[in-house]
Amino acid sequence: MNPKILIITGYGLNCEAESHHAWTLAGAAPELVHLNDLIERPARLHDYAGLMFIGGFSYGDHMGSGLAFGARVRHHMQSDLARFIADGKLILGVCNGFQIMTKLGLLPGLNGDYFTQKIVLMHNDCGAFQNFWVTLRFEGNSPCVFTRNLDLMPLPIRHGEGKVFTLDRPLLDRIEQLGCVPCRYADPATGLATDQFPLNPNGSLNAIAGLCDPTGRVFGLMPHPEAYLFPENHPQWDLQKLRGTLPAQGAGLKLFQNAVAFLKSS
């Protein structure tokens, strides 16, 4: 049976259509549920094997991206979310969803503490929202189940607040030691992490593009894998077609396929 994935909608989140399509293509059974319908009966969360916080502009990013949505989720669903994680299920957050997860404290989720904010995704160093494609480098030392067996991947970024930041250096070191950095912004020429704009679009510490918890089942990232499902999404698909290197499907799908493979095997 295809694993059921809950996609929360409402309040300015807006990537529901492509996220739904991504999970469907990957062999899951996604459902869109408005946040208000969910908090009316938070226990329905447990009907699902995975949960996705999608991208968008919840509450317009006013007061800091993810803050207001995170506060509403925490207020109504904290204990159900804790149980959901303890049950070994998956949570994915993309862009605004990642921001919501860091505001909630779901990431980095060290020491089993999933509800204290430790990290912030702050304004890009360049000072503005940016939309262009970057290259992600996936780290082999990460327990992240979404990023298994991946190396480099082009994906679009579309955010104004994507800089992973903390003043707590030991915390950052601990996150690195635990392999909680599954992906970084990289220079496609070398495959190495970079702090150079625009290869690193926001000035993120250690070029961090995404974080997972120590179990690897809770994962968030700023770039949008759900926006690279068609091969023609790639900005140079015209050249790839000419050179015979156009893939059959957009590379972003692989993260969703990894998640579904994990769910089907567990």
Partner 1 sequence: MAYRIEIALKRGVHDGRGAGVAARARNFFHLPVTGCATRDVFKVDVALTPRQLREVQKIFTDPVIARSAIGRLAAPAFDWLVETSFKPGVTDNLGRTAQEVVTDTIGRPLAAHEGVYTGVHYLLKGTLTREQVQRLGRDLLANELIQSIRVFSAEEWAAAPVDAEPPVIRDPAAVEVRTYDLSGSDADLMRISREGILSLSIEELYAIRDYFNRPAVLAARTGLGLPAQPTDVELECIAQTWSEHCKHKIFAANVHYVDETGKEQTIDSLFKSCIRAATEKIRKDINWLVSVFTDNAGIIRFDDRYNISFKCETHNSPSALDPYGGAITGIVGVNRDPMGTGMGCELVCNTWGYCFGSPFYAGDLPAGLMHPRRIRDGVHQGVIDGGNQSGIPWTRGFERFDERYLGKPLVYCGTIGKIPRLLQERPSERKEILPGDAIVMCGGRIGKDGIHGATFSSEELRHESPAQAVQIGDPITQRKMYEFLMEARDLGLFRALTDNGAGGLSSSLGEMSSMSGGAEIDLAKAPLKYEGLQPWEILLSEAQERMSLAVQPENVAAFLALARRRDVEADVIGTFTDTGAFVVKHGDRVVGRLEMEFLHEGCPKMHIEARWQPPQVAAPAPLRAGSRNRALLGLLGALNVCSKEFKSRQYDGEVKGLSVVKPFVGVQSDMPSDATVMRVDYASHAGIILAEGINPFFSDLDTYAMMASVIDEAVRRVVSVGGKLGQIAGLDNFCWPDPVLSEKTPDGPYKMAQLVRANQALYDICTAYLVPPISGKDSMKNDSVRGGRKISIPPTVLFSTIAKMDDVRKAVTMSFKQAGDAIYVIGLTQDELGASEFHRWLADEQGAPANYGGTVPGLDVLRALATYRVMNSVIEAGLLRSSHTPTLGGLAVAFALAALGGDLGADIQLDAAPHTGDLRDDARLFAESNSRFVVTCAPEQAAALEEKFRGLSCARVGTVTAARTLSIRTAARQLVEADLDTLRKAFKKTLQGI
Return the active site residues: 95, 224, 226
Smallest distance, Å, CB 129 to partner 1? 5
What does the alpha-carbon distance between residue 251 and residue 239 come to, in Å, rounded to a whole number? 16
DSSP string for residues in 142-170: ---STTTT--EEEEEEEESEEEEE-S-HH
Tracing tokens 């329905």 back to the chain, one arrives at 44
Comparing CB distances to partner 1, the nearer of 14 and 143 is 14
Residue placing its CB nearer to partner 1 in the complex, 123 or 254: 123
- Nearest to partner 1 of 190, 266 (CB atom): 190
- Residue 131's region, left for phi above 0, alpha for psi from -120 to 50, else beta, is beta
- Interacting residues with partner 1 (CB under 8 A): 9-15, 17-18, 21, 34, 36-37, 55-57, 59-64, 67-68, 71-72, 75, 117-120, 122-125, 127-133, 156, 158, 165-167, 224, 226-230, 232-233, 235-239, 241-242, 250
Q: Is 230 in a helix, a strand, or coil?
A: coil
Nearer to partner 1, 35 or 139 (CB): 35
Work out how close the CB of 266 gets to partner 1 at its nearest, in angstroms, rounded to a whole number.
Answer: 28
Q: Shortest gap between Cβ of 126 and partner 1 (angstroms)?
A: 9
Minimum CB separation of residue 30 from partner 1 in Å reads 13
Strand-pairing partners, residue 192, are 187
3-state helix/strand/coil string of 4-54 = EEEEEECCCECCHHHHHHHHHHCCCEEEEEEHHHHHHCHHHHHHCCEEEEC
| 260 contacts 1 by C-beta, under 8 angstroms | no
